[in-house]
Structure 1
């Protein structure tokens, strides 16, 4: 649980842009994990070549579409991940400051969280929007866990943190 605490604390101390990038990366890594579970005939190396940055399914958008087609995602999760991907891209590629106070980011976060509550969330401050983004993304991770994987966002974050540590050690 210590790895989970560290991962969650890192999110708390990140800038808005950093949080957008880190959470989207965690979601992309989790999605890749579930895609590999549906491709049992491939070796670890083949999975990495297929889903890695230079592979045919290396882009986050391609992984999202592939997961929908494979039945890993339902339409709601697909739509939510597409919005998270756009938020991530705005944070990664904009030369202007991007925060949870940026109007288009605010609207996107609200639509991921609950389109039905959009009117009530319009007056929320940036910290609340940031929290809504984090909770919406953790809900998406939980929906992945319902597919029979590691189970829950805390276990998924721990698994991803462990995988990152193994990469650092040269595995």
Structure 2
């Protein structure tokens, strides 16, 4: 005697009617397409607006823009050490939201491993990343003088090594490091230290790019 197996078990008689597969016809939420925004690169006008925002913006925007500027500079420096790829390949393979260097932290560590900079700049970039995250992930009214943020900024050290002239020396010296001037005159706020660090590190790592060290095309097929 042949028995035909039902494709699904019968519903008990005392169970109220309901769809067997709920939301079967529901539409899948649309994922936002940010590809063009992510892949577009800053223009000269964008940089002008960025510099203005760094100089005059409110603390939260300054923290985010300063870190974004530094992250873009790091990306430029890393590009020079990769095999020859088109900008689209870099965007799609390396720096896309699902790429290996979408994370600022990972990019910082790779730059250090490649010898683009030493431990001082590496540590400062991580501090800038942390400060950015503190501003980005809180709803509180914070500033660069908020204790947790100010504590991080107090550890920034690269900018203190930069040298500059002082017009009217009182001790016969004509040149000081930025750190010495700050200690001598106490002339900078935490926000100024943060902005100066973002700018100086970005300039330093891009100015040090050596395109002759690029590995060129892939060695194997």
TM-score (norm: length of structure 2): 0.58
In structure 2, how many angstroms separate the alpha carbons of the residues matched to 1:70 and 1:21?
26
Structure 2 match to 1:25: 68
In structure 2, how many angstroms separate the alpha carbons of the residues matched to 1:41 and 1:3?
27
Residue pair 2:111, 2:117 contacting (<8 A) in 1 also: yes
Structure 2 match to 1:137: 198
Structure 1 match to 2:51: 8
Unaligned runs of 5+ in 1: 150-171
1:98 and 1:7, CA in 2 relative to 1: closer, same or farther beyond 3 A? same
CA shift for structure 1 position 96: 1.7
Residue pair 1:60, 1:85 contacting (<8 A) in 2 also: yes
In structure 2, how many angstroms separate the alpha carbons of the residues matched to 1:140 and 1:115?
8
Pick which of 69-78 and 20-29 moved more: 69-78
Unaligned runs of 5+ in 2: 1-43, 161-177, 211-221
Question: 1:132-159: per-residue Cα shift (whole Å, max 9, x none)?
Answer: 111122121122133137xxxxxxxxxx
Structure 1 match to 2:147: 103
Residue pair 1:64, 1:81 contacting (<8 A) in 2 also: yes
Question: 1:41-97: per-residue Cα shift (whole Å, max 9, x none)?
Answer: 322222112122221111100111111111112111100001100001111111222
Which runs of structure 1 show a deviation greater than 6 angstroms over 4 or more consecutive aligned residues?
114-118
In structure 1, how many angstroms separate the alpha carbons of the residues matched to 2:101 and 2:47?
28
1:2 and 1:29, CA in 2 relative to 1: closer, same or farther beyond 3 A? closer
Structure 1 match to 2:96: 52
Q: Give the number of equivalent residue pairs.
A: 146
Residue pair 1:57, 1:63 contacting (<8 A) in 2 also: yes
In structure 1, how many angstroms separate the alpha carbons of the residues matched to 2:55 and 2:207?
26
Specify which of 128, 131, 136 is matched with residue 84 of structure 1: 128
SS state at 1:55 partner: coil
Alignment of 1:144-163 (within 5 A): 144-148=205-209
CA shift for structure 1 position 4: 5.3
